[in-house]
Structure 1
Amino acid sequence: MRRVLLALLALAAGLVAGCDNAGANPSAPATTAKAADAGGACQLLDFGMVNAKLGLNLSVAAGAQQDNTFSCVLQAAHASYPDLVLSVSTTTIGADVFGTMIQPKDATAVQGLGVTGYQMQTPPTDKAGPGVEVGWLAGNKRIIELSLRLAPGTPDEKAGEAMPKLVELAKLIDLSSL
């Protein structure tokens, strides 16, 4: 399941990389674009809400769908990072299976998020800085993962500072997905 989600996220990231203002009217400034216009899981996101919660200036969106998984990538115009990735997949699993099969082993529980949820910090990669991830099993039988990846060279502490903000954003998304 995680491999499918990662492949979809890579696909969505490629869509964003190829667009300078995906999901928006080409003649309109990026600030007037609606993330939902990009389709996919972007329908659960709003630039104003995301930027206010995370303290960012994301303005480009790309959405995708593969089978029962919808994804969305938000980025700043003309920049690869930071990026916010949301994926939503329908499921029939319960909390016990989510906890053993989906939730990463080094993640910690998040109270008050869906049926069950987790959070974890992710290390930098060759191309990206550190990040944070929140995942949960929503009450409407959806597996939702939300991740924020920061720019290369960003100190790990900045990712740690972003964690509670991402959890709060996840809780808003969880309410909107009911």
Structure 2
Amino acid sequence: MSAGRVAADPPNEGFRRARTPRTVSDGHLAGTFRRRSARGWSVRGRIVVAGLAGLLVSGCAAEAEPVAVPPPAPIAVDVAASSSGGACRLLDFTVIEQLVKVRFDVAAASERVDTYTCVVRAESASLPELTLSVTDIKIDKATFAADVVPDKAAKVTGLGQQAYRRTVAAASGHGPVAEVGWLATEGRLATLSWTAARGVERSAAEKLIGDLIALAKKVDTRAL
């Protein structure tokens, strides 16, 4: 605190005293001595504190450097297909794996006009992929048979009001496609298709049709 008073003294005070000599009493001299003594103690106090601070710094420098600890590894958390919303609410990764024998862990939903679509695939590969589409329209069996069922498609029993199955040859960028389509009990149109990776034979898609039909029977389009 005394050091603050030293800095606060007017810079020209000494010049005024030298220019205007006056008689100094013993009491005034003693007071001056006491003030200077107090300032002297303040300076010495700062020197002592600075010395202690130096010892503390040198002591800290002697301590061992901190060891960097690597961050913990990220934990993989399984997310349900239904969390993507839309038509993905009608699919379950576990059920798909049980019936189709392939593990999927990524799902993406989209909506266009009255059609809701969900695509599921493995995070490590873009193919194969499974696609579910549900169109929110009301049609009857006659319209379904005449306008929806593809040429050369085979009939499927026990699925909705009416259903079909077919395979499509491989095309640029992907392998063959297995497809199941049906008219749901409430009149909605649904299709479930499997797109294989390039190089897969069409016969493999044919063998998958049975599993795809079993999965289609698990889809409750009324829940959309």
Question: What's the TM-score once normalised by structure 2's chain length?
Answer: 0.64
Cα displacement (A) at 1:57: 1.4
Per the alignment, residue 156 of structure 2 pairs with 110
In the alignment, structure 1 segments of 5+ residues that lack a partner are 1-26
2: distance between equivalents of 1:91 and 1:61? Answer: 24
Per the alignment, residue 24 of structure 1 pairs with none
User: Cα deviation per residue 1:20-51 (whole Å; 9 max; x = unaligned)?
Assistant: xxxxxxx7636x11001111110000000011
Per the alignment, residue 183 of structure 2 pairs with 137
Per the alignment, residue 72 of structure 1 pairs with 118
1:29 counterpart letter in structure 2: A
Per the alignment, residue 207 of structure 2 pairs with 161
1:117 counterpart letter in structure 2: A
1: distance between equivalents of 2:189 and 2:157? Answer: 16
For 1:22-171, what aligned pairs fall within 5 Å after superposition? Answer: 29=76, 32-171=78-217
Cα displacement (A) at 1:177: 2.5
Per the alignment, residue 15 of structure 1 pairs with none
Per the alignment, residue 177 of structure 1 pairs with 221
- Identity within the alignment, %: 34
User: Cα deviation per residue 1:62-108 (whole Å; 9 max; x = unaligned)?
Assistant: 00111211100001113111000000011121011111101101111
Question: Does the 8 A contact of 2:134 with 2:221 survive in 1?
Answer: no
Cα displacement (A) at 1:155: 1.4
Question: Does the 8 A contact of 2:132 with 2:191 survive in 1?
Answer: yes
In the alignment, structure 2 segments of 5+ residues that lack a partner are 1-73
1: distance between equivalents of 2:158 and 2:75? Answer: 38
Cα displacement (A) at 1:160: 1.1
1: distance between equivalents of 2:221 and 2:114? Answer: 15
Q: Name the CA shift for 1:128/1:46 in 2 (closer, same or farther; >3 Å).
A: same
Structure with greater Cα Rg: 2
Question: Does the 8 A contact of 2:110 with 2:116 survive in 1?
Answer: yes
2:76 counterpart letter in structure 1: P
2: distance between equivalents of 1:93 and 1:164? Answer: 26
How many residue pairs match? The answer is 149
Would you tell me which structure has more strand in proportion to its own residues? 1
